[in-house]
A and B are shown apart, each in its own frame.
Chain A
């Protein structure tokens, strides 16, 4: 039988996805014990015991100096920044993206300048942001907004234009004004597409967050990683990276759940 026709059975389908994870962990384990056998003080690939110990120290023990639980503190600080940044971006994209998508005059006024702005590398203007907005929370949130809003906005404006013109004509023959059509026809149909776009920009939002935290911060997941890097503390960095990955996955998953439960018609239209 051709390989493209072979289907895994149900047990295989359950086990097969785990295989790569197991292999990665096994490879790490071998490499770690090999290095530690040569040099017990090696810091590059700590074994499971020292990883667990680091997690225990950072997540479940109060810091001796401040009395805080560092990992919890870092997580809250980072998530606050990430979510505020994304919320502001989403709001800007929602309002301007839909207006630009719907109104030809606004489109011809703003489309080119937005295309130009979206090409500015956000990290290149990070110094400007630090100078203007200071080193506090505002600058980190601003970087996330500058990094994600142009993509969201342009994507949404394009999605609005993809709406069948029949729908817009029909809405007008039902007596809708521009505002009413925006409110009842365009916005509700754009919400699920906006959620899709936000899911896609989660990756870059994390990138900008961690960059900003690495450069100037007093807490946060990115701050911690770059702080302990000075001591080669791989036993801290690796769990933090795993934790960030898990948080990113959960955010993506939550957005998907919200989309499916709050906007059931969208999943129907996609044939799911």
Chain B
């Protein structure tokens, strides 16, 4: 269980302030969705969590320790694109994490060690629904399958924190619905904390336990660069996501077909959106 504490984090590039005075805590096993308009600094914040960028001021603590200055295996990541390696098959992509950990010099496993790694990778590949495709290269997979692969590849390292940078932004709505369900399942089954950047509000509320809205404050129209983004809304998502036990006991999402344009679509299961839903609830 991992707690992330953000203490007075600022980010500026030269004169331009991108993020100002962020202060918040992320509870263990939270699923935080960062939303906001383009260029509001949400991706910059995620890149700081990845150690791709350094805060100009302040610090980010993970379990009380400052973030290391470079990416580590504790923080898994899935990008919108280029998350998987084009020269490796599905299986090769997933076992790579184990190969890095167990073969310091060659980065390659052989014999029994390789068989054990493959066994674990196969379970993970099956759990993201790519069991039939294990010999294929990423170029032979659809966008949705590539993102499933990226998830499996990141999860084999059992990261404490999973960082998602608009991971499903490029997918068709129908495929997105399926992968949302998968994402929830994977999150519930593990103990990891997830931080996801998205500009899709329904996605943020469907997946997140908490939604943080970033926005640039409009305090000075004549000097917009002097003010960076702040958190304007911090929303606990209701109803709470089910626990692992509930899922083991046969829980299913109420309206999984909601995002599927070909399905009937019975309305929204979070009552925050339309009047009709509030009335019927």
- Which residues does A use to contact B, with CB under 8 Å? 164-167, 169-177, 179-180, 183-185, 188-189, 263-266, 268-269
B 93-119 contacts with A by CB, 8 A: 96-97, 99-101, 103-108
Chain A residues near B52 (CB, 8 Å)? Answer: 165, 169
- Expressed in whole angstroms, the minimum distance between the Cβ of B224 and any Cβ of chain A is 28
Query: A176 touching B107 by the CB < 8 A rule?
Result: yes
Please tell me the size bucket of the interface on B: 35 or more
Complex Cα gap A4–B132 (Å): 44
Nearest neighbor of B105 in chain A, beta-carbon distance:
A179
Residue among A171, A180, A189, A268 with the highest chain B CB neighbour number at 10 A: A180
Chain B residues near A184 (CB, 8 Å)? Answer: 96, 99-100, 107-108
Complex Cα gap A179–B105 (Å): 8
Nearest neighbor of A192 in chain B, beta-carbon distance:
B87
- Which residues does B use to contact A, with CB under 8 Å? 50, 52, 70-73, 75-77, 79, 81-88, 96-97, 99-101, 103-108, 137-140, 150, 153-154, 157, 159
Given A175-B157, A176-B100: A170 touches B107 (CB 8 Å cut-off): no
Complex Cα gap A174–B77 (Å): 9
Query: A170 touching B83 by the CB < 8 A rule?
Result: yes
Chain A residues near B84 (CB, 8 Å)? Answer: 170
Chain A residues near B137 (CB, 8 Å)? Answer: 264-265, 268
Complex Cα gap A179–B107 (Å): 9
Complex Cα gap A167–B81 (Å): 9
Nearest neighbor of A268 in chain B, beta-carbon distance:
B139
Query: B87 touching A266 by the CB < 8 A rule?
Result: yes
Complex Cα gap A59–B75 (Å): 66
Residue among A164, A174, A189, A269 with the highest chain B CB neighbour number at 10 A: A174
- Expressed in whole angstroms, the minimum distance between the Cβ of A261 and any Cβ of chain B is 15
Complex Cα gap A169–B159 (Å): 14
